[in-house]
A and B are shown apart, each in its own frame.
Chain A
Amino acid sequence: MTHVFLDEYSDLESPIHQLDPRAKLVGCIALIVICVTTPSNLYAAFAAYLGLEIILVLLSRLPWKHVLKRMLIVLPFILVVAVFLPFFNKGGGSYNLGPVTVSAHGLLVLWNVAAKSTVSVLAVILLSSTTPFPELLKGMEKLKVPHLLTTIMSFMYRYIFVLMDEMQRMRRARDSRGWSGKWLWQAKVIGHMIAALFLRSYERGERVYAAMLARGYDGGARTIYLYDFGVMELGFTALVILFPLAARLIVGG
């Protein structure tokens, strides 16, 4: 079975792909922090953030189709806020949209969520689509993220599809024996499957640990890191932090 990897397109070649993952990680976090702390009425600042991201997408030669498809993930959040829109009526003038009335304040809340989630998600898409996940983890380790955490994430990346395949096989075995899923008493079966999956993962964990020990693992964190934080990285980090910061201060000033 084939699955779409988290870091699809991260093996392209572009100036952005080549950067030290640390630069991209720091830049991404900085951009998100600057964005979410920007007051929602500084419209031009958000335009600047988005503009910067669009330039980065162009530089990284990512296919727009891929980027836009990944962007769809923000829609549910915006929709949830939109559904509750009529209930925000703290004044600031109101508009009649057919049967419902929305307040200017409510619209601002919606804009706030939409703009910030769009900019933030795009930043994460840029990071994950230009950096292979293993490299990102090594970058995190270099940035002193605890080894335990990066190890867990690395196992997740390695085994999530193995587990999904295992689940898929169990589901087929279940359905082959006439499981319809229509009746409440059949719900128990799902519980059993989850338990089986847990046990299998637990046993796999033991075997993987034995395989690690067999190759001299002693709990130490040693990795090979092939990147250097050079001029390009410095420039990139400065751009991604200073440009949005400046935009925000000028617009807000």
Chain B
Amino acid sequence: MRVLIIDDEDDVLTMYKERLEADKFEIETASNGQKGLDLAFANPPDVILLDIIMPKFNGLDVLQMLKSRTETKDVPVYLLTNLPEEASGEKAKQLGAAGYLVKANNEPSTVANLLKGLASAQKRE
């Protein structure tokens, strides 16, 4: 399963990449919204993990862009962020995010399990 992670903190990218690659996921990373979109449009992944608060290109804007293009609109996007859910959970749902993961409560192993579940669900389809 191919996963694209977009987050402005390099340490966050390293953290999740380390664990997910150990679980045999194919990982692509981008440290800003624009790079992330370029990668997603060029080679649509199976899942996208997207940080919301990023300088210049806000995560919610990236989400909107992803949902507006045919090649990426069906890719499930999980918002990976530090804000408590009330802060922008509503807007995220409105824009079509698949889920909301507060980083502090969802360390790499949790995300790995979530993605494993997703992968087996997708295989079954």
Q: Do A and B bind each other?
A: no
Where the two chains meet, the residues of B that have a C-beta atom closer than 8 Å to any C-beta of A are none
Where the two chains meet, the residues of A that have a C-beta atom closer than 8 Å to any C-beta of B are none
